[in-house]
Chains A and B, each alone.
Chain A
Amino acid sequence: MDIAAQSIEGGFADPVFNAQTVFRAVMDAMARPGTVQPLPALARPPAPFSATSGAIALALCDNDTPLWLDPALHASAAIGSWLGFHTGAPLANTSADAHFAFVATPAEMMALDGFSQGTQDYPDRSTTLVLQVGDLVSGTPLLLEGPGIETNATIAPAQMPRHFVEQWKQNNKRFPRGVDIVLATSEGVACLPRTTRIKTMGA
C-alpha cells in the first residue's frame, strides 16, 4: 500500500463512539493507576505505530495539540501523514513544545525532563507521554502508591526507559509540575499520573 492510501486508511470506524471508548479507558486508567483498562483495536495506523497508541492519538489529538514522535515513529513518513490526515495535529518543533509525545521504543527514549513539565502557575501545560510497551507483566515489577490507588498496585511494564524509577522519583519531586505517562499495549492501557509514587519490588 502506498503512503497516500496508508494515511487515509485505518481511522476510527465510528469516530464519535470510538473516541469516547478510548477516552473513557484512558480516563479510568489515569484515575486508577496500575489498573489495565482493556481496549479493542479501534485504529490501524502504519507500523510501528501501535493500534492502541494510534487510537489514543485519534481520540485526544487535534490541531490544538502539537505532537512529538520518537525517532522510530518519526522515521516513517506514513505515520506522519496518517496523523496529519486523521487528527490535523502539527508536529512540535521540540519535545518541550509537545502536548503529546508518542514513543515506540521507550527503552531508547530521551530523559523525561526533556519534555514540557508545565509551570508552577500552569502545571497542566505539560507533555503527556504515550509509551508503547510490549506488555505490563514481563518487566521489572513496579509497586505503585498514590491517589487513585486504595493501598497499592503492581504493574511490570516491559521495555521501560532507562533508569525509569530514578527518573520518576525526580518527576514526583517536581510536583505539581511533571509529565504523565500512558502505557499502551495491545491489550489496553495503564497510566502513571505524576502523583503516582513507585517503589521497585524488593527494593
Chain B
Amino acid sequence: MTAQPTDIATYNFAYLDEQTKRMIRRAILKGIAIPGYQVPFASREMPMPYGWGTGGVQVTASIIGPDDVLKVIDQGADDTTNAVSIRAFFKKVANVAVTTDTAAATIIQTRHRIPEHPLTAGQVLVYQVPIPEPLRFLEPRETETRKMHALEEYGLMHVKLYEDIAKHGRIATTYAYPVKVEGRYVMDPSPTPKFDNPKMHRSPALQLFGAGREKRIYAVPPFTDVVSLDFEDHPFEVQTFDQPCALCAAENVYLDEVILDDHGGHMFVCSDTDYCEKRRADGHRGHLAPETDLAPGNMEPAR
C-alpha cells in the first residue's frame, strides 16, 4: 500500500445516503403517530458495531441539521468512550455543533440515562435501544410478540411482574422497566434505570428510540402518558439513595458508586456529569469534593 490515500473507497456526506434517510424519516413519522409501537425499518450497517448505538445513530443522522446542537451521553456522562466516539462521528460526518450542556442541546443521544436537568419543548431525546421488544424475554418469538401487541394481550407481562412479587416480595426489575404508552402499547424504555421512568411521562421533549440490530424505531411524542406497569398493592417506585452526591451534594438524582480503594471504601456521585459539574460551578460542594475543581464542560484530561 502507498502512503497516499487512494480513491478505493469513498463515503457519502453524513454517512447515510438520502434514500436511507427518507426511509428512516418515514418510520419516525409513523412512530410518532402510533406512540409506543415499534415500527420495523431496514436498518443499515453503520460504521460502529451493532449493539453500540447504531439505531440511535441512524435516528440522529436522519433528523440532524446544520442548526442543531448535539449532546451525546452514555451512562449519563458525556466523556464515556462510546459517547466520545459517537460525538466525534457526528462532528466528522455532519460537522454539527456539539455540547455537553443539557439545556443548550437540541438533540441529545443517550444510552442508559435521561438527563437530570428537565428537558424542554423543542428538544429531541434519542435513545439507543438494544432489545426494543418488552416481551422478548418472556416470549422469544417475534411472530408471537407481534400478535400480543396487536391484540393488546399483555397478561404475560403482568404475570411475570406478579411472580416477582410472590418470589421476592417486590418487582425485581430495576432497569428497562416496562411502561404503557398512552394507555395502549407496552414499551421498553431502553435499559435506563427505572429511576428515570417518571421523566418520560408527559415530557415536553420528543423521545425517539432506535434499535439498529433489531431494526425497530419507536417514539413517544411530547406530553404523552407513559405509565410504569405496577399493581395496586405494589405501586411502582423508583430507586432512592441514602446519601447525596459526594461531589455536588445533589439529592434525588441517580448516583454511581465509585470504588475508592480495596478496603471497601466507596463514594456515590452523580451519574449525570453535566448536572454535577454545573452544580459545583454554582458553588455546591459534597463532602468529598476537591477544593479546586475542574472547569465545567472541560472534556480534556486535567493535566
A residues at B contact (CB < 8 Å): 15-17, 19-21, 23-24, 26-28, 30-32, 59-62, 64-65, 99, 119-124, 126, 128, 147-150, 175-176, 180, 193-195
A65 to B182, CA, bound (A): 29
A127 to B239, CA, bound (A): 43
**For B222, what are the chain A residues with a Cβ–Cβ distance below 8 Å?**
31-32, 147-148, 150
The answer to whether B221 and A31 touch across the interface, beta carbons within 8 angstroms, is yes
Q: Which residue of A lies closest to B219 (CB)?
A: A31
**For B32, what are the chain A residues with a Cβ–Cβ distance below 8 Å?**
27, 30-31, 148, 193
Q: How many residues of B contact A (CB 8 A)?
A: 45
A168 to B30, CA, bound (A): 17
Minimum-distance CB pairs A-B, first 3: A193-B33, A148-B221, A124-B30
A94 to B147, CA, bound (A): 28
With A16-B14, A59-B22, A124-B30 known, 16 other A-B pairs at CB within 8 A are A19-B22, A23-B63, A27-B63, A28-B206, A30-B32, A31-B221, A60-B22, A62-B19, A124-B34, A147-B220, A147-B221, A147-B225, A148-B32, A150-B222, A176-B37, A180-B29
The answer to whether B34 and A194 touch across the interface, beta carbons within 8 angstroms, is yes
Query: Is the CB of B39 closer than 8 A to any CB of chain A?
Result: yes
**For B14, what are the chain A residues with a Cβ–Cβ distance below 8 Å?**
16
With contacts A16-B18, A30-B33, A128-B29 taken as known, whether A149 is within 8 angstroms of B223 at the C-beta atoms is yes
**For A124, what are the chain B residues with a Cβ–Cβ distance below 8 Å?**
27, 30-31, 34, 37, 39-40
User: Within the complex, which residue of A15, A23, A61, A120 is in contact with B150, where a contact is CB–CB below 8 Å?
Assistant: A120
**For A123, what are the chain B residues with a Cβ–Cβ distance below 8 Å?**
34, 37
A33 to B121, CA, bound (A): 13
Query: Is the CB of B26 closer than 8 A to any CB of chain A?
Result: yes
**For B39, what are the chain A residues with a Cβ–Cβ distance below 8 Å?**
124
Query: Is the CB of B158 closer than 8 A to any CB of chain A?
Result: no
**For A121, what are the chain B residues with a Cβ–Cβ distance below 8 Å?**
146-147, 149-150
CB distance from A51 to the nearest CB of B (A): 19
The answer to whether A27 and B221 touch across the interface, beta carbons within 8 angstroms, is no
Query: Is the CB of B49 closer than 8 A to any CB of chain A?
Result: no
**For A126, what are the chain B residues with a Cβ–Cβ distance below 8 Å?**
30
CB distance from A40 to the nearest CB of B (A): 14
CB distance from A82 to the nearest CB of B (A): 18
The answer to whether A150 and B223 touch across the interface, beta carbons within 8 angstroms, is yes
CB distance from B201 to the nearest CB of A (A): 12
Interface of B is mostly: mixed
A176 to B185, CA, bound (A): 9
**For A194, what are the chain B residues with a Cβ–Cβ distance below 8 Å?**
33-34
Q: Which residue of B lies closest to A176 (CB)?
A: B34
The answer to whether B182 and A195 touch across the interface, beta carbons within 8 angstroms, is yes
Q: Which has the most chain A C-beta neighbours within 10 Å: B34, B37, B149?
A: B34
User: Within the complex, which residue of B30, B33, B65, B206 is in contact with A17, where a contact is CB–CB below 8 Å?
Assistant: B65
With contacts A121-B146, A195-B182 taken as known, whether A17 is within 8 angstroms of B18 at the C-beta atoms is no
A126 to B27, CA, bound (A): 12
**For A62, what are the chain B residues with a Cβ–Cβ distance below 8 Å?**
19, 22
CB distance from A127 to the nearest CB of B (A): 11
A5 to B74, CA, bound (A): 51
User: Within the complex, which residue of B21, B149, B182, B206 is in contact with A31, where a contact is CB–CB below 8 Å?
Assistant: B206
User: Within the complex, which residue of A27, A64, A148, A150 is in contact with B29, where a contact is CB–CB below 8 Å?
Assistant: A27
Q: Which residue of A lies closest to B223 (CB)?
A: A150
Query: Is the CB of B91 closer than 8 A to any CB of chain A?
Result: no
Query: Is the CB of B270 closer than 8 A to any CB of chain A?
Result: no
**For A150, what are the chain B residues with a Cβ–Cβ distance below 8 Å?**
204, 222-223
**For A17, what are the chain B residues with a Cβ–Cβ distance below 8 Å?**
65-66
